[in-house]
Amino acid sequence: MRQLRPLASLLSLRFPLHSISARAFASTPIANRERRDDGFIHPEMTDNIVNFYAGQPPLNRLSFQRQDASLLNAYLPTAKFLVFDLGKVLCPTKRYNEIQYLTHAQVAPLLKEGFEDPPKDAKDAKVRQAARPVGASAVVFLGLDERGYEQENEGNVERPKGLPYFAIDASGTGFAGASKNSAVRAAESDKGEGKDEVTGSWGDPRATGSALDAFDAGVFATARALTDWNGRNRHCAACGAKTYSLWGGWKRACTTALEDPSKCFSNTGLHNFAYPRTDPVTIMGVLDPAGDRMLLGRQRAWPKGFYSCLAGFIEPGESFEDAVRREVFEEAGVKVGPVRYSSSQPWPFPANIMVGCYARAESDEIRLDLDNELEDAQWFPRSVVARLFEKEGSTHFSVKDYSAIDRALTAGEEDGCAVHGDLASRLTKIPPETAIAGKLIRQWAPGPHALDLVSRL
Size of the site for Zn ion (CB under 5 A): 7
Of 241 and 353, CB closest to Zn ion: 241
Would you tell me the crossing angle of helices 17-26 and 5-12 to the nearest 10 degrees?
A: 120
**What residue type is assigned to position 418 of the chain?**
A
* Beta strands 163-169 and 80-85, pairing class: parallel
Tell me the window of 135-143, 159-167, 188-196, 252-260 that interacts with Zn ion (CB under 5 A): 252-260
Q: Minimum Å distance from CB 276 to Zn ion?
A: 18
Of 253 and 359, CB closest to Zn ion: 253
Of 260 and 452, CB closest to Zn ion: 260
Question: Among residues 178, 187, 141, 182, which one has the least CA distance to residue 163?
Answer: 141
How far is the C-alpha of 62 from the C-alpha of 210, rounded, in Å?
26
If binding is defined by CB under 5 A, does position 274 make contact with Zn ion? Answer: no
Residues within window 337-366 making contact with Zn ion, judged by CB under 5 A: none
Q: At 282, which helix (H) or strand (E)?
A: strand 279-287
Of 95 and 271, CB closest to Zn ion: 271
If binding is defined by CB under 5 A, does position 236 make contact with Zn ion? Answer: yes
- Measured torsion, CA atoms of residues 369, 373, 374, 379, in degrees rounded to the nearest 10: -70
Of 239 and 351, CB closest to Zn ion: 239
Of 256 and 352, CB closest to Zn ion: 256
Contact indicator for 32, 438 with CB cutoff of 8 Å: no
Give the number of C-alpha atoms closer than 13 A to the C-alpha of residue 338, restricted to the C-beta side.
9
Assign 244 to helix, strand or coil.
strand
Q: Minimum Å distance from CB 241 to Zn ion?
A: 5
Tell me the window of 47-55, 249-257, 310-318, 401-409 that interacts with Zn ion (CB under 5 A): 249-257
Q: Which of 254, 274, 332, 354 binds Zn ion (CB under 5 A)?
A: 254
Cis link prior to 350 (omega < 30° from 0)? yes
If binding is defined by CB under 5 A, does position 257 make contact with Zn ion? Answer: no
If binding is defined by CB under 5 A, does position 266 make contact with Zn ion? Answer: yes
If binding is defined by CB under 5 A, does position 264 make contact with Zn ion? Answer: yes
Assign 42 to helix, strand or coil.
coil
Contact indicator for 324, 298 with CB cutoff of 8 Å: no
Of 59 and 254, CB closest to Zn ion: 254
How far is the C-alpha of 203 from the C-alpha of 98, rounded, in Å?
9
Tell me the window of 32-40, 241-249, 377-385, 388-396 that interacts with Zn ion (CB under 5 A): 241-249
Tell me the window of 58-66, 84-92, 254-262, 279-287 that interacts with Zn ion (CB under 5 A): 254-262
Tell me the window of 145-153, 237-245, 410-418, 442-450 that interacts with Zn ion (CB under 5 A): 237-245
Q: Minimum Å distance from CB 402 to Zn ion?
A: 36
Q: Minimum Å distance from CB 136 to Zn ion?
A: 19
Residues within window 165-224 making contact with Zn ion, judged by CB under 5 A: none
Of 254 and 440, CB closest to Zn ion: 254
Question: Among residues 256, 39, 15, 13, which one has the least CA distance to residue 127?
Answer: 256
Tell me the window of 57-65, 229-237, 296-304, 357-365 that interacts with Zn ion (CB under 5 A): 229-237
Q: Minimum Å distance from CB 236 to Zn ion?
A: 3
How far is the C-alpha of 109 from the C-alpha of 105, rounded, in Å?
8
Phi, psi of 24 (to 5 degrees): -60, -40
Assign 35 to helix, strand or coil.
coil
How far is the C-alpha of 129 from the C-alpha of 142, rounded, in Å?
17
Q: Minimum Å distance from CB 446 to Zn ion?
A: 54
Q: How far is CA 386 from CA 10, 137, 284, 438, 441, in A?
A: 34, 47, 18, 11, 9
Q: Minimum Å distance from CB 237 to Zn ion?
A: 8
Q: Which of 239, 366, 386, 419 binds Zn ion (CB under 5 A)?
A: 239
Residues within window 389-418 making contact with Zn ion, judged by CB under 5 A: none
Query: Rounded to the nearest 5 degrees, what angle is found at the Cα of 247, between the Cα atoms of 245 and 249?
Result: 50
Of 157 and 238, CB closest to Zn ion: 238
Of 239 and 353, CB closest to Zn ion: 239
**391-400, long-range: CB < 8 A, 24+ apart:** 393/429, 394/428, 394/429, 394/430, 395/429, 395/430, 395/431, 395/432, 395/433, 395/438, 396/432, 397/206, 397/207, 397/210, 397/303, 397/432, 398/207, 399/96, 399/204, 399/207
Would you tell me the crossing angle of helices 17-26 and 214-232 to the nearest 10 degrees?
A: 100
Of 18 and 235, CB closest to Zn ion: 235
Q: Which of 7, 22, 238, 423 binds Zn ion (CB under 5 A)?
A: 238
Tell me the window of 111-119, 230-238, 357-365, 449-457 that interacts with Zn ion (CB under 5 A): 230-238
Q: Minimum Å distance from CB 172 to Zn ion?
A: 22
Q: Minimum Å distance from CB 326 to Zn ion?
A: 35
Of 246 and 440, CB closest to Zn ion: 246
Residues binding Zn ion (CB under 5 A): 236, 238-239, 241, 254, 264, 266
